[in-house]
Amino acid sequence: MRFVAIKMLVGDRAKYLGIVMGLAFASFLITEQLAIFTGLMTRTFGFITDTAIADIWVMDPKVQFVDDIKPMQDMQLYRTRGVDGVEWAVPLYKGLLKAKLENGNYQTVIVIGLDDATLIGSPPVMLKGQAADLRRSEAVIVDTVGAAGKLSKPSPVPGQKRIPLAIGDTLEINDNRASVAGICKVSRTFQSQPVIYTTYSRATTFAPKERKLLSFVLVKAKPGEDVKALASRIKAVTGLAAYTRDEFKELTIRYYMKYTGIPINFGMAVLLGFIVGTAIAGQTFYSFTLENLRHFGTLKAMGTTNKTLLGMIVLQALMVGSIGYGLGVGAATAFGKLVKDTELAFRLPWQLLVITAVAISLICVFAALLSIRKVMKLEPAIVFKT
């Protein structure tokens, strides 16, 4: 009877396509929204990802996420270095400063200051120049998106494309000259400002004079050291917060989840996809069953058991479900490929596919349940009613 079930379903082209499209739309919407959400969440800790060399991040205990800078005194660096099991510990400066461009405009930039001696935490990908060039006087490395965008120069010919900032160009950060020595690529973050890498000492001269300037201490554990245990030890000794890389990512995500509208917005969109999918697909599937009620009745009269009828409806639901899911997820993947090199955050780990599969299954179960109920309660005697 599987054959009959399938033919009943696909024979009615228009309805069949309607149901499949409804489900495809729902699964596309759910997958795409979840993928963008995941992409955005990954962006929140982009800087931590880029600074993968550090096992542990040490910071002021009040810090809530990676862009939440609460400077510490320099002596915290030495205290951290003194903790048992620390291979090395280096300072990191991170701050928002004003840069004056050649044309006199001001632009807020993220300045990252790396340990002068080791340059630990240097950009993950260098496009032009190299990290060691930071040792030259006034040297800074600029991220390529910023260089081509907010830091670019207008073309001398009006109406022409802007000229990206290049090696040798200069800008002023808080009245200090900075000379571009390299172009790098960084992971996109939530902060849309250009990223400028320099040394720790130069960064602190750029920064307004303050008593405390140390943003983070990056720590490497000795080989064989339990990183988690070391983090708690650092915490105990210094009274600071010390997170492993993953803990710090988690802290950051949790902050965004809790204090921004992002999860709600995306949750709403996902829910909307779910509801729209349920409404369209559920409703069309149910009306498909209703239209075929007479035939289900005939089958019942002719000796088809309720169990078989149930199997038929489940099969029909499974079929539209899996085809709709495939189409929707396929479309979402294609969409992801399309927006790969754009501003849009899009990440599609396999877990999201599972979530969408579960959602689509729920929609199908819901649609099928209504139909099943109707068909189970169907009186076979209706077959003689005209």
Partner 1 sequence: MTIQKNNPFPCDEETSTKAVAVHCKGITKAYGSGSETVNALNGINLEVRTGELTMLVGPSGCGKTTLISIMAGILDQDEGDCVLFGKNFKSMSDLEKTRYRGEQVGFVFQSFNLIPTLTAAENVAVPLLIRRIDRKTAVQKAGETLKNVGLGDRLNALPAQLSGGQQQRVAIARSLVHEPRLIVCDEPTSALDHETGFRIMELLQYAALCADRALVIVTHDPRIFDFADRIAKMDDGRIVDVSDSPQDMGK
> CA–CA separation, 11 vs 327, rounded Å?
20
Contact (CB, 8 A) for 193 and 108: yes
In angstroms, the CA 266 to CA 43 distance is 15
Pick 7 or 161: Cβ nearer partner 1: 7
CB nearer partner 1, residue 216 or residue 288: 288
Among 156, 158, 159, 303, binds partner 1 (CB under 8 A): 303
Query: CA–CA separation, 56 vs 62, rounded Å?
Result: 16
Residue 381 engages partner 1 in binding (rule: CB under 8 A): yes
Strand, helix or coil at 327?
helix
- Which residue is listed with tokens 């494309």? 161
The pair of three-digit structure tokens given for residue 303, joined into one six-digit string: 């000796």
- Residue 350 near partner 1 by CB under 8 A: no
Which 3 state secondary structure label does DSSP give 119? coil
The token pair at 66 is: 């990676």
How many CB atoms are located within 10 Å of the residue 168 CB? Answer: 8
What's the rounded Cα separation, in Å, for the pair 210 and 58?
20
Pick from 58, 48, 62, 93: nearest CA to 78: 58
304 binds partner 1 (CB under 8 A): yes
373 binds partner 1 (CB under 8 A): no
Burial 35-62 (b: 16+ CB within 10 A, else e): bbbbbbbbbbbbbbbbbeebbbbbbbee
Site string for partner 1, 251-290 (x = CB under 8 A): ----------------------------------------
Q: Which range in 4-12, 84-92, 111-119, 206-214 contacts partner 1 by CB under 8 A?
A: 4-12
Residue 301, interface with partner 1 (CB under 8 A)? yes
Structure tokens at 342: 């754009």
Taking the least distance from each CB to partner 1, the nearer of 209 and 385 is 385
Minimum CB separation from partner 1 for residue 377, in Å? 12
**For partner 1, the closer CB: 163 or 301:** 301
Map the footprint of partner 1 across residues 7-26, applying CB under 8 A.
7-8, 10-12
Residue from 305, 334, 354, 373 binding partner 1 (CB under 8 A): 305
The answer to whether residue 70 forms part of the interface with partner 1 (CB under 8 A) is: no
* Interface pick for partner 1 out of 118, 155, 232, 306 (rule CB under 8 A): 306
- Does the footprint of partner 1 cover residue 302 (CB under 8 A)? yes
Nearest distance from C-beta of residue 385 to partner 1, angstroms = 8
From the list 43, 202, 249, 300, which residue makes contact with partner 1 (rule: CB under 8 A)? 300
Backbone angles phi, psi at 193, to 5 degrees: -75, 155
Contacting residues toward partner 1, per CB under 8 A: 1, 3-4, 7-8, 10-12, 294-295, 298-306, 308, 379-381, 383-386
